[in-house]
Chains A and B, each alone.
Chain A
Amino acid sequence: MAPDRPTVDLLQGSLDVIVLQTLSWQPMHGFGIARWIQRVTDDVFQIEEGTLYPALYKMENKGWVKGEWRVTENNRRAKYYRLTAAGKKRLAEESRTWSLFAGAMAKIMTAAAAPA
């Protein structure tokens, strides 16, 4: 399905964390997830639907999120996704990895001198 580029894999991995983190506040439908990310990152991250929905379905198959049909405030039927216990565990693991990665990156980018 997805074109075979290494960046896609990377994106895919980070998309999972982003979505899990988003859902950690409250259950949301796909459109809501996309809007929320856009808003929080000040439109830096533009989530593509072409990757968002398959990613949600994959996470549902893995048991990290669970989809349920509910009615929105505007009285429309929408599929809401909520984080499962397995999903919370996964998110905790992923965010640890991310902090490590981000911290290491920050040290590299702010290093004062060239190595001896």
Chain B
Amino acid sequence: MTSPRRDDPAASPKWWRYLRFWGTNVRAEVDDEISFHLEELVGYHVARGVPPDEARRIATERFGDRDHIALAMRTLATQRETAMQRTEWLDSMRRDLRYAVRQLAKRPAFTFVALITLALGIGSNTAIFSAVNAVLLHPVATTDVDRIMVVRTNLPTMNLMNEDVGPGEALDLMARRDLFDASGAWAGRSGVITEIGDPRRVTVARTMGQFFDVFHVVPALGRFYRPDESEPGKERVVVLSYGLWRELGADRSLIGKSITLSGVRHEVVGVAPESFDYPRGTQLYAPIAMTAQYAQNRGQLIWNLVGRMKTGISRRQFDAGILSEQQRWHRDLHYGDKQFLSVVPLVTMIAGQLRPALLVLLGAVGVVLLIACANIASLQLVHGTARTRELAVRAALGAGRGMIVRQLLVENLVLSVAGGLIGLGVGAVILKLMSAAGASQMPALSDVHLSGPALLFTAAATLVAGGLFGLLPALRAGRVDVQEALKDGAGGASLGGRRSRLLHTSVVIQVALTLVLVVGSGLMIRSLRALLSQNPGFSAEHVITMKMTVTGPRYQQSGSLTNFYNQLLGSFTGMKELGPIGFVSELPFSGDNDSSPFRVIGRATDPSLPAMHANLHTIGGDYFKAMRIPLLRGRTFDKTDAATPDQATWVCIIDETLAKTYFPNEDPIGKRINQGPDATIVGIVGTVSQGELGEPPKATVYYPYTQHAWYSNMYVVTRTTLPTATVVSRVRGAIRAIDPNIPLFSTQTLDERIAGSLAPRRLAMIVLTGLAALSLGLAVFGLYGVISYAVSQRTREFGIRLALGARPTDVQSMVLRQGVMLALAGVVLGLSGAFIATRALSNLLFGVSTRDPFTFIVGPVVLATVAVAASYLPARRATKTNPLDALRST
């Protein structure tokens, strides 16, 4: 404030108070009040005979520091203004909300369909987005996960694709410090911890290199072991997973203590952080004892090589580096193909089969969201038109365009938020279904929760949806010609030509998108049927499988394992009720596999060709009988194939695939192969699927447990009609009788294991089919709504037609024709869309072309039928038009 005004209170400019027109002007009011007070005070003194100048001086002096008082008053007044505005805003918001809810409740059908549509679109998107986020984008708790690469082996001539690498390759690649910031490798094992409580089976990751450094993880307790602890003699250290540490009592003093892992004492040096779960489910990490001989081993494909790409190098440079290493091996060591390794990002590797399934579902929910938006848009168009009169009345009563727009926006916001909330519930249900469908095979899915980013995504989708479908009708409503709308009698305003075209377009789009989903899910169903009808080479019915791990100090000596298995088979012979029973080191569909190189003795090998590989299975008892794997030639193993150090008498059985592939023109019986030790082929059995139904068959060699006597993990397999629990307790009893420390676990029927291997496909099929069914429902609602609306608009026309002698069936077919034409347009558009979209499914399909004629015929027929059904009710209503009523109603 300037000093002249202080001397003369009346000097505050008059225009100032006009600012009040734009709301309360705090400054002017305070000023006015003080000026009034001072003037009264001057008047008071003047009335008592004081000269005016003197009176003014006394008043100013008595009043005190005007600026200071005014400031205090302004501050207080501003506080009051703000509080009042807030209250007013809240009040009007509450009024708008109440009005919106009332309006929505007045139109229950519209509200119901809109809510369902929104909930579905938002819920399915949130669920799939959460799953994609957790499984595909952030599968491991680490930084810059995209820089972590996995190196895989591909030997297409042997049907070996995406396999692990051999120890020699892993060591050579890990030495390339120009390619990696850090690199390591792991091989999964299982072991048994004894001497801390009950014997406990644990999943062990044997590692080499700087395994933990790859992931930038810090131990929760203690330390991680160093790369040099792989040297023989130093390797007896372990790191516990956080989960195992907790199971063992969460005792900090465990660090530095020793535990017995599979009969060997190891020192606990550290505990991994709780968030670190790679390889998934690992409970214990231990370095591998690396001997010079093992380091030379190439071709035993059991090592997962993971590495963080060197900072600053590109993926292309990295791939070139990996290639140059292979070329060096080929040139200098005469080993391997010029290129048999591939680089895969870790995130892709972990997601595995889930990746294509989730990506397809991501596309599908995107389509559902589009359908939902189209549906909401057409609902709004139809109902917005019907409401034109209501809005016109409000406009006539003085509601401004802004008010009407705001009210409609609030209405849509209410709808969107409510739909979003229900959608979160829908999303949770979808996630639950997904993890239930895939939990056995895909543990990754079981701990996916609706995530924060997904919630944000939902919120954004909700608001955008609200804005999108709220804005258009609101703007249109604001433009309503009041007079026209009111003049137009009971029927309300009708859609103009442009608007009904918009409406029709939206229905056509819904039908088209729905067809894409229907065709996609049809292909998935057909593909799954085709897979299930594949013959795996064995009969899975009534086969119960269990896993045992035979470890402990007493199995260190040679022959001790064989003794255990001998005893076990001996006790099995006394349990005839169990049916044929045997065991195998790698059971089909168990996820285990051991692919090893072999050569045929007496046959020259060409070093420029990749080594021949075959699955290596060690079996005992009546394994073939239990699995019903047919013996094609020769004999199965018998008592004569006993343990003997003389490898000249060692035997093996090969499968048909190996026989046909590697002995095309000769009789393999009697030939000798080397896959470790030498062995003579004594029989040929049928080929079985190992990991997946319908996969190209892989060559397999079977060895008797008596000669290949170093396998401590075995699956017990029996074909029986007894209940699973009975079988397990008998087998467990037999094992306990020999050694109470041997755990028996992972009980599953073979059918369950096969079903598990199909889980990603089944999951994609179930979710896709569900989405297609729901979309079909939405499209029916959409079509029904539009046709009903069209009928209601043409009531007069139908009345005139009927009055002029048209038959009801004529009117009915007119309406039906409109529905069918819309549906047909949608089907034509949808078919072309499906032709393109189903290509994305090709990774998930089996035995069915992406253009499967059956599906491409049934899908459109289903949609067309549904469209006719949806148009039928309104068409019937049209025939019921009473000509007189229709004509009178104007």
Q: Which residues of A contact B (CB under 8 A)?
A: 1, 29-31, 35, 48-50, 53-54, 57-58, 60-61, 76-79
CB proximity of A12 to chain B, nearest CB, Å? 13
A49 touches B37 (CB 8 A): yes
Residue in B34, B36, B64, B79 whose Cβ sees the most chain A Cβ within 10 Å? B36
CB proximity of A50 to chain B, nearest CB, Å? 4
Q: Which residues of B contact A (CB under 8 A)?
A: 29, 32-34, 36-37, 39-41, 44, 62-65, 68-69, 72-73, 76-77, 79-80, 83
Say whether, besides A57-B77, A61-B80, A78-B36, A49 and B69 are in contact (CB < 8 Å): yes
Given A29-B37, A54-B69, A54-B73, 11 further pairs, Cβ under 8 A: A1-B68, A30-B37, A31-B37, A49-B64, A50-B64, A50-B65, A53-B34, A53-B72, A57-B77, A60-B76, A61-B80
A57 touches B73 (CB 8 A): yes
Nearest residue (CB) in B for A59 is: B76
Q: Considering the chains assembled together, what is the distance between the CA atoms of A60 and B72 in angstroms?
A: 14
Q: Considering the chains assembled together, what is the distance between the CA atoms of A76 and B65 in angstroms?
A: 24
Name the B residues within 8 Å of A79 (CB-CB): 29, 32-33, 36
4 closest A-B pairs by CB: A57-B76, A31-B40, A50-B64, A54-B72
Name the A residues within 8 Å of B32 (CB-CB): 77, 79
A31 touches B41 (CB 8 A): yes
Residue in A1, A30, A53 whose Cβ sees the most chain B Cβ within 10 Å? A53
CB proximity of A88 to chain B, nearest CB, Å? 20
Name the B residues within 8 Å of A78 (CB-CB): 33, 36
Q: Considering the chains assembled together, what is the distance between the CA atoms of A57 and B81 in angstroms?
A: 12
Q: Considering the chains assembled together, what is the distance between the CA atoms of A53 and B74 in angstroms?
A: 11
Name the B residues within 8 Å of A77 (CB-CB): 32, 36
A53 touches B73 (CB 8 A): yes
Name the A residues within 8 Å of B72 (CB-CB): 1, 53-54, 57
Q: Considering the chains assembled together, what is the distance between the CA atoms of A1 and B64 in angstroms?
A: 14
Q: Considering the chains assembled together, what is the distance between the CA atoms of A60 and B73 in angstroms?
A: 11
Name the B residues within 8 Å of A60 (CB-CB): 76, 80
Nearest residue (CB) in A for B33 is: A79
Cβ-neighbour of B76 out of A48, A58, A76 (below 8 A): A58
Name the A residues within 8 Å of B73 (CB-CB): 53-54, 57
Residue in A30, A35, A50 whose Cβ sees the most chain B Cβ within 10 Å? A50
Q: Considering the chains assembled together, what is the distance between the CA atoms of A31 and B62 in angstroms?
A: 13
Q: Considering the chains assembled together, what is the distance between the CA atoms of A31 and B40 in angstroms?
A: 7
Q: Considering the chains assembled together, what is the distance between the CA atoms of A78 and B63 in angstroms?
A: 17
Name the A residues within 8 Å of B76 (CB-CB): 54, 57-58, 60-61
Name the A residues within 8 Å of B62 (CB-CB): 49
Q: Considering the chains assembled together, what is the distance between the CA atoms of A48 and B66 in angstroms?
A: 12
Can you spell out 8 A-B residue pairs with CB atoms less than 8 angstroms apart? A53-B69, A54-B69, A54-B76, A57-B73, A60-B80, A78-B33, A78-B36, A79-B32
Cβ-neighbour of B64 out of A30, A48, A58, A76 (below 8 A): A48
CB proximity of B546 to chain A, nearest CB, Å? 78
Name the B residues within 8 Å of A35 (CB-CB): 44
Residue in A49, A54, A78 whose Cβ sees the most chain B Cβ within 10 Å? A49
Name the A residues within 8 Å of B39 (CB-CB): 76
B63 touches A49 (CB 8 A): yes
Cβ-neighbour of A76 out of B36, B63, B83 (below 8 A): B36
Q: Considering the chains assembled together, what is the distance between the CA atoms of A97 and B871 in angstroms?
A: 80
A53 touches B44 (CB 8 A): no
Q: Considering the chains assembled together, what is the distance between the CA atoms of A58 and B75 in angstroms?
A: 10
Q: Considering the chains assembled together, what is the distance between the CA atoms of A109 and B37 in angstroms?
A: 39
Q: Considering the chains assembled together, what is the distance between the CA atoms of A53 and B32 in angstroms?
A: 13
CB proximity of A2 to chain B, nearest CB, Å? 9
Q: Considering the chains assembled together, what is the distance between the CA atoms of A67 and B735 in angstroms?
A: 94
Name the A residues within 8 Å of B68 (CB-CB): 1, 50
Q: Considering the chains assembled together, what is the distance between the CA atoms of A78 and B33 in angstroms?
A: 7
Q: Considering the chains assembled together, what is the distance between the CA atoms of A60 and B29 in angstroms?
A: 14
Name the B residues within 8 Å of A1 (CB-CB): 68, 72
Q: Considering the chains assembled together, what is the distance between the CA atoms of A79 and B36 in angstroms?
A: 9
CB proximity of B48 to chain A, nearest CB, Å? 13
Q: Considering the chains assembled together, what is the distance between the CA atoms of A79 and B65 in angstroms?
A: 21
CB proximity of B727 to chain A, nearest CB, Å? 80
Nearest residue (CB) in A for B36 is: A78
Say whether, besides A54-B72, A61-B79, A31 and B36 are in contact (CB < 8 Å): yes
A50 touches B69 (CB 8 A): yes
Q: Considering the chains assembled together, what is the distance between the CA atoms of A49 and B62 in angstroms?
A: 8
